[in-house]
C-alpha cells in the first residue's frame, strides 16, 4: 500500500533526506537521486556537479552507502544478496561493504549500561575494559569479567542508533513507494516488501533481547554436538540495548597460519563449518545469516565457536521441500520440473515468459549436466541460476536470496581452509538423508494423519461456514476486490488522452471565437491595438493546433 502522505513531511526525515541527497550527489550519483524521488532535496550547488573521481558507478554507490551509516550499510549488504534484481558488478561491489564505525566514547557506553542495568559497569562487573573489542554501526563490544571470574563480552547499542534507523527506514519506504509509481523498475519488482523485510531484520538487530533468544535457540538445537560451541547469554545482565554473553576465544577461521602452527587439520575445520550450516538449513529450518570468518573461532579440537546471532535466516518446511525437489529435478536434468518448482517458490509471476525461462533453465542444466559433484561449485550454480532469474526480470523470495548468499559464503570458507574441498560432494549425503527422512514411512504417515485431521475439521466446520456465507450473500455484504496489474499504466495513458482531447476542444473553440470576432468587425470599435492583438492570436492558435495534430499523429498507437 502506498503511503497516505509524502514521507518527507517530518522534520527529521526532511533533514536526513537532504543529507542522503547531498551524499549521493557528492559521489556522482545524481541520476540515482532523480530516480529515487530525492531530487527536491539535492543542494543547488551540487545539482550540476559531483565526484570527479574515476570510479565505476557501483564503487560510487558502495562509498556513498558506507558514508550514510548503519541503515544504508546494512541495506547495501541486503541488496548484495539480490543477484536476481541487480547486475553482477553492483552485487559484487555491495558485498564489500564493511559494517565498521568509529568507536563511541566509553562515557556514552557507561551511561547506557547505567540506565539499563541500574549501576555503573565498574559496579556490575569485576572488570570492564574501556577499550572496545569491536565497533560497528549499531553496537560496540567491550570485554568484561564477572565476579566469579568468568569472562564475558558486553555488546552495547550506540546512542541514537534506533532513532536514526527509524528515520532512515521512513526514507527507504518512501523511496520504494515513489519508485513503484514513477519508474519501470519499481513497477516490475516488489520493492516495498523488500524494504519491509529489511526493516524487520534491522529492527531485530537493534533488539539485543531477540539476539540473545536466537543464541539460546541455536545452542539448544546443537545440544549434544561437541563440535559446536554457542555462547550462553547472561539474562540478568541483558536488555534491549545491552547484551552480555559468555566470551568465546580461539583462532579465527581465516587465520590459516595459526591453524597450521598449532596442528589443527584445515580439512576437519572446513568440513565442520559446512556441516554446521547444512544442519541449520536442512534440519533446523533457520540459519546463521552472517557467516563471515570473523564470527567463527576454532577450538583446539577443531570445534567451532560461533558468535553474532543478530541476523538469522528462516526456511519453512514447505520451502525446504521445494528446494529439495528443485535440486532433484536439476540432477535428473528435467528443466520442466525445475521450472515448476521455481514457480512454486514464487520466482515467476504472471509477467513471466515461462517458455523462455524453461529454455534458459534447459541451457543451464546442459551447461552443468554430466559433471560429477567434484567438478561443480555451489556458488557457480547459484550464480548462474540467479543470472537466469535476473535476465527474465523475475524476483526470488527473500529467504531464498539470503540462502544463496550464505551458501556462497560457507563454500568460500571451506575453499579457503582447503582448496581441494568439494562443497556439493560433501553436502550430497546430507541432502539425500533429508530427502529420505521426508519420504520415510513415519513421516508420510504423520502427514497423512495431519491431512485427515484437517479434512475432518473442515467437514465439521463446512455447514457452519456455508451458512455464514449464504447469510452474508443474502444481506448483500459480500464485496469483490479486483486487482489489475496493468491498471496504473492504462490510467496514465488515459489521462494523457483526456488532457490532449480537452486541449484540442479549448483550442478549437478559441480559433472559432477569434475568427468570428475578427470577421464580425466587432473589434475595430474597441481600439486599434486590441484588433491587432486578436489578429496575432489567430495565427498563433492555428500553429499551436497544427503542432498538436502533429504530436497526436506521431504518438504511439496502443
Instruction: For residue range 433-483, list pLDDT tens digits in order.
Output: 877 776 666 656 665 666 677 677 767 777 777 777 777 777 776 666 555
Q: For residues 71-85, give the mean pLDDT.
A: 84
The sign one gets for the Cα dihedral 139, 140, 146, 151 is: positive
Provide the pLDDT for residue 297. Answer: 93
Q: For residues 2-14, give the mean pLDDT.
A: 57
pLDDT tens-digit readout, 95-111: 888 777 788 899 999 99
Task: Read off the pLDDT band of 290 (50, 70, 90).
Answer: confident
Highest mean pLDDT out of 80-94, 200-214, 290-304, 532-546 = 200-214
Provide the pLDDT for residue 518. Answer: 60
Q: What percent of the chain has pLDDT over 70?
A: 78
The answer to whether residue 50 scores a pLDDT higher than 50 is no
Determine which of 236-245, 252-261, 318-327 has the lowest per-residue pLDDT on average. Answer: 318-327
The DSSP secondary structure of 459-498, one letter per residue, reads: HHHHHHHHHHHHHHHHTT--------TTHHHHHHHHHHHH
Considering only residues 143 and 59, tell me which one the structure prediction assigns the higher pLDDT: 143
Are 149 and 234 in contact by the 8 Å Cβ rule? The answer is: no
Beta bridge partners of 152: 144, 246
Provide the pLDDT for residue 558. Answer: 43
Q: For residues 527-556, give the mean pLDDT.
A: 65
Provide the pLDDT for residue 352. Answer: 64
| pTM > 0.85 | no
Task: Read off the pLDDT band of 235 (50, 70, 90).
Answer: very high
User: What is the residue extent of each domain of the chain?
Assistant: 7-99+168-201, 100-167+202-247, 253-439, 449-476, 488-554
Sheet holding 127-135, edge to edge: 127-135, 139-145, 151-157, 242-246
Provide the pLDDT for residue 19. Answer: 87
Rounded distance between C-alpha atoms, residue 153 and residue 141, angstroms: 7
CA 400 from centre of chain: 11
Provide the pLDDT for residue 4. Answer: 38
Rounded distance between C-alpha atoms, residue 122 and residue 466, angstroms: 67
Of 374, 373, 368, 371, which is closest to residue 387 (Cα–Cα)?
368
Provide the pLDDT for residue 154. Answer: 96
Q: What percent of the chain has pLDDT over 90?
A: 23
Q: Strands 242-246, 296-298: parallel, antiparallel or unpaired by DSSP?
A: unpaired
Determine which of 202-211, 392-401, 499-508 has the lowest per-residue pLDDT on average. Answer: 499-508
Provide the pLDDT for residue 178. Answer: 85
Considering only residues 413 and 469, tell me which one the structure prediction assigns the higher pLDDT: 413
pLDDT tens-digit readout, 161-199: 999 999 999 999 888 888 888 877 777 777 888 888 889
Q: For residues 10-26, give the mean pLDDT.
A: 84
The answer to whether residue 499 scores a pLDDT higher than 80 is no
Are 243 and 233 in contact by the 8 Å Cβ rule? The answer is: yes
Rounded distance between C-alpha atoms, residue 11 and residue 122, angstroms: 39
Give the CB-side neighbour count of residue 107, counting CA atoms within 13 A: 0
pLDDT tens-digit readout, 345-404: 766 555 567 778 888 888 888 777 767 667 778 888 888 888 888 887 777 788 888 888
Task: Read off the pLDDT band of 2 (50, 70, 90).
Answer: very low
Are 68 and 23 in contact by the 8 Å Cβ rule? The answer is: yes
Rounded distance between C-alpha atoms, residue 139 and residue 260, angstroms: 33
Contacts 24+ apart (CB under 8 A), 378-384: 378/407, 378/408, 378/411, 378/423, 378/424, 378/427, 379/407, 379/408, 379/411, 379/412, 379/423, 381/424, 382/407, 382/408, 383/83, 383/88, 383/408
Considering only residues 439 and 525, tell me which one the structure prediction assigns the higher pLDDT: 439
Three-class DSSP labels, 131-161:
EEEEECCCEEEEEEECCCCCEEEEEEECCCH
The answer to whether residue 527 scores a pLDDT higher than 60 is no
Highest mean pLDDT out of 62-66, 426-430, 484-488 = 62-66
Provide the pLDDT for residue 488. Answer: 60
The answer to whether residue 524 scores a pLDDT higher than 60 is no
> Mutual orientation of helices 191-206 and 70-79 as an angle, nearest 10°?
130
Task: Read off the pLDDT band of 82 (50, 70, 90).
Answer: confident
Considering only residues 397 and 207, tell me which one the structure prediction assigns the higher pLDDT: 207
> Mutual orientation of helices 528-554 and 487-519 as an angle, nearest 10°?
150
Rounded distance between C-alpha atoms, residue 352 and residue 359, angstroms: 13
Determine which of 113-127, 275-289, 470-484 has the lowest per-residue pLDDT on average. Answer: 470-484
Average pLDDT, the chain: 80
The answer to whether residue 510 scores a pLDDT higher than 80 is no
The answer to whether residue 126 scores a pLDDT higher than 90 is yes
Q: Locate all alpha helices (DSSP H) within 27-69, ordered by sequence.
A: 30-35, 57-68
Residue with cell 558514508: 67
Q: Judge whether 353 counts as a catalytic residue.
A: no
7: which DSSP letter? Answer: G
Rounded distance between C-alpha atoms, residue 139 and residue 239, angstroms: 13
- Which residues, at least 6 apart from 383, have a Cβ–Cβ distance to it below 8 Å? 83, 88, 408
The answer to whether residue 528 scores a pLDDT higher than 70 is no
Three-class DSSP labels, 276-297:
HHHHHHHHHCEEECCCCHHHEE
The total of other beta-carbon atoms located within 10 Å of residue 96's CB is 13
Q: For residues 333-339, give the mean pLDDT.
A: 81
Q: Which of 84, 99, 177, 290 is catalytic?
A: 290
Provide the pLDDT for residue 49. Answer: 45
Of 378, 371, 430, which is closest to residue 404 (Cα–Cα)?
378
Beta bridge partners of 157: 139
Question: What is the architecture of the domain spanning 100-167+202-247?
Answer: 2-Layer Sandwich (3.30)
Residue with cell 525445475: 338
Amino acid at each position: 500500500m502506498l503511503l497516505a502522505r509524502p514521507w518527507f513531511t517530518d522534520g527529521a526525515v526532511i533533514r536526513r533526506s537532504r543529507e542522503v541527497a547531498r551524499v549521493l550527489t557528492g559521489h556522482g550519483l545524481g541520476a540515482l537521486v532523480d530516480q529515487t524521488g530525492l531530487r527536491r532535496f539535492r543542494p543547488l550547488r551540487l545539482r550540476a556537479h559531483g565526484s570527479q573521481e574515476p570510479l565505476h558507478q557501483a564503487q560510487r554507490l558502495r562509498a556513498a552507502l558506507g558514508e550514510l551509516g548503519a541503515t544504508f550499510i546494512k541495506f547495501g549488504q541486503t541488496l548484495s544478496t539480490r543477484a536476481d534484481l541487480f547486475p553482477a558488478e553492483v552485487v559484487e561491489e555491495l558485498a564489500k561493504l564493511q559494517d565498521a564505525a568509529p568507536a563511541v566514547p566509553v562515557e556514552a557506553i557507561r551511561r547506557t549500561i547505567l540506565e539499563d542495568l541500574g549501576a555503573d559497569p565498574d559496579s556490575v562487573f569485576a572488570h570492564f575494559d574501556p577499550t572496545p573489542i569491536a565497533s560497528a554501526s549499531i553496537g560496540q563490544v567491550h570485554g568484561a569479567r564477572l565476579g566469579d571470574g568468568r569472562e564475558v563480552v558486553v555488546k552495547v547499542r550506540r546512542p541514537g542508533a534506533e532513532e536514526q534507523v527509524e528515520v532512515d527506514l521512513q526514507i527507504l519506504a518512501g523511496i520504494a513507494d515513489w519508485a513503484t509509481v514513477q519508474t519501470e523498475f519499481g513497477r516490475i519488482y516488489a520493492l516495498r516488501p523488500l524494504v519491509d523485510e529489511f526493516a524487520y531484520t534491522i529492527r531485530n538487530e537493534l533488539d539485543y533481547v531477540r539476539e540473545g533468544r536466537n543464541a539460546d535457540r541455536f545452542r539448544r538445537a546443537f545440544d549434544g554436538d561437541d563440535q559446536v560451541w554457542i555462547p550462553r547469554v547472561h539474562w540478568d545482565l541483558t536488555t534491549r540495548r545491552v547484551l552480555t554473553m559468555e566470551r568465546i576465544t580461539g583462532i579465527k577461521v581465516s587465520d590459516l597460519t595459526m591453524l597450521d602452527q598449532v596442528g589443527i587439520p584445515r580439512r576437519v575445520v572446513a568440513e565442520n563449518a559446512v556441516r554446521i550450516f547444512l544442519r541449520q538449513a536442512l534440519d533446523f529450518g533457520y540459519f546463521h545469516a552472517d557467516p563471515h570468518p570473523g564470527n567463527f573461532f576454532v577450538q583446539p579440537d577443531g570445534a567451532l565457536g560461533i558468535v553474532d546471532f543478530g541476523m538469522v535466516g528462516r526456511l519453512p518446511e514447505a520451502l525446504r521441500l521445494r528446494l529439495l525437489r528443485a535440486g532433484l529435478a536439476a540432477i535428473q536434468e528435467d528443466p520442466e520440473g525445475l521450472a515448476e518448482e521455481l514457480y512454486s517458490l514464487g520466482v515467476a509471476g504472471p509477467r513471466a515468459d515461462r517458455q523462455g525461462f524453461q529454455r534458459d533453465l534447459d541451457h543451464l542444466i546442459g551447461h552443468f549436466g554430466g559433471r560429477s559433484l567434484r567438478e561443480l561449485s555451489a556458488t557457480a550454480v547459484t550464480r548462474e541460476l540467479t543470472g537466469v532469474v535476473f535476465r527474465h526480470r523475475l524476483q526470488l523470495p527473500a529467504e531464498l536470496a539470503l540462502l544463496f548468499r550464505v551458501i556462497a559464503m560457507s563454500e568460500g570458507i571451506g575453499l579457503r581452509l582447503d582448496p581441494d574441498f568439494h562443497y556439493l560432494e560433501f553436502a550430497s549425503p546430507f541432502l539425500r538423508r533429508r530427502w529420505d527422512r521426508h519420504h520415510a514411512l513415519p513421516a508420510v504417515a504423520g502427514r497423512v494423519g495431519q491431512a485427515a485431521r484437517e479434512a475432518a475439521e473442515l467437514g465439521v466446520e463446512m455447514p457452519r461456514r456455508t451458512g455464514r456465507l449464504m447469510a452474508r450473500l443474502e444481506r448483500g455484504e459480500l464485496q469483490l476486490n479486483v486487482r489489475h496489474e496493468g491498471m496504473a499504466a492504462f490510467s496514465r495513458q488515459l489521462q494523457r488522452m483526456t488532457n490532449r482531447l480537452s486541449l484540442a476542444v479549448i483550442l478549437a473553440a478559441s480559433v472559432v471565437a477569434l475568427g468570428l470576432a475578427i470577421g464580425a468587425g466587432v473589434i475595430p470599435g474597441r481600439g486599434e491595438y486590441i484588433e491587432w492583438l486578436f489578429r496575432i492570436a489567430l495565427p498563433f492558435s492555428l500553429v499551436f493546433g497544427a503542432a498538436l495534430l502533429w504530436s497526436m499523429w506521431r504518438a504511439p498507437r496502443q
